[in-house]
Chain A
Amino acid sequence: MTDAHATLLAFLGSFGLLAGYAARVAIARQQARESKLRTPEPPRAERRPGSAVMTEQKPRSTINK
């Protein structure tokens, strides 16, 4: 292997590592974005037994009667 070949090999190997990592991060980022788009938003108020959200309210129409 000549010096020029060794230099080229080192360049290509290094480029492969750098580009491979960047591509991997970019793909993972894209996948994370897509999975977030697919997942529905969770409800704003979490309903727990006994919490104020779970307390049933009477219909307004019955208050004045």
Chain B
Amino acid sequence: MDRWRKWSVYAYWGLTLLVLGFGTVRAVLAPIDATWGPIQKLLYLHLPVAANTFIAALIVCIASVGYISGRKQKWDDLAHAAAAMTVLNGTVLLITGMFWAKISWGQWWTWSPRMTFSLILWVLYAVYLLLRARIHSAERRAVVSSIYGVVAFLDVPLLYLSVKLLPDVHPTSSGMTPAMYSTLWIWMVGITMFSLGTIALRYELAQRLGPRDTAPVGPARPAVAGMAR
């Protein structure tokens, strides 16, 4: 059973790398957009990480509700793993967006509604991680962060509505050819597999370490360096 599980993890990551590798080849070979030039290829990464930021934030919200209703540690572990992925995807979203902004509009940042709400989302989940690091009691940390996780998710509908309702400088994808669309979908699958796989890895790590109180000061840290809960 353990061996089967080990090989299924290897197969999953192998498939993920294969999809991402295929996506990279397709992105190189895909036609260059006449309006935007080569920077349009960033869309293949930018859009999937945006979608996966929302997915990870949704997992944080669901897991937080799960913890509040059942007080089971596994939900808190899942929320923590997903929150880390939300911040990571959000970072990539902002970086790729800033490169696009610099090349397309000549400046690194514009306070457009979509970019502003994206930044707020990133800050909210970065604060979530910082908040966890500052609370030393394991149970208190889980309670506080689960309530915060539900409240922080409120930014996602705001971001979605800002896309639909407010005027924005963001380009639309209407000028994409079928080859560009298929490449985008390959990337969407690859990045989603990567994101969910990493959440699962981090969740499993938290389950192995178990709930623990952290020391308020001093060098006392969990056994695994760099993975403080």
Q: Point out the residues of chain B lying under 8 angstroms from A7, CB to CB.
A: 38-39, 41-42, 99, 103
B92 at the interface (CB under 8 A from A): yes
A41 at the interface (CB under 8 A from B): no
- Number of A residues with CB within 8 Å of any CB on chain B: 23
Q: Which of B37, B42, B205 is the one whose CB lies under 8 Å from A10?
A: B42
The residue that A29 contacts in the complex, of B41, B92, B205, with Cβ under 8 A, is B205
A17: contacting residue among B38, B41, B91, B225, CB under 8 A: B91
Give the docked Cα–Cα distance between A6 and B100 (Å).
Answer: 9
Whether B204 lies near A29 (C-beta < 8 A) is: yes
Number of A-B contacts (CB under 8 A): 73
On whether the beta carbons of B102 and A6 are closer than 8 Å, the reply is: yes
Residues of A within 8 A of B (CB): 3-4, 6-7, 9-11, 13-14, 17-18, 21-22, 24-26, 28-29, 31-33, 35-36
Residues on B lying within 8 angstroms of A by beta carbon are: 37-39, 41-42, 45, 49, 84, 88, 91-92, 95-96, 99, 102-103, 194, 197-198, 201-202, 204-205, 208-209, 223-227
* Given A13-B95, A29-B201, A32-B205, 14 extra CB contacts under 8 A: A6-B39, A7-B103, A10-B96, A11-B42, A11-B45, A17-B91, A17-B95, A25-B227, A28-B205, A28-B225, A28-B227, A32-B224, A35-B223, A36-B208
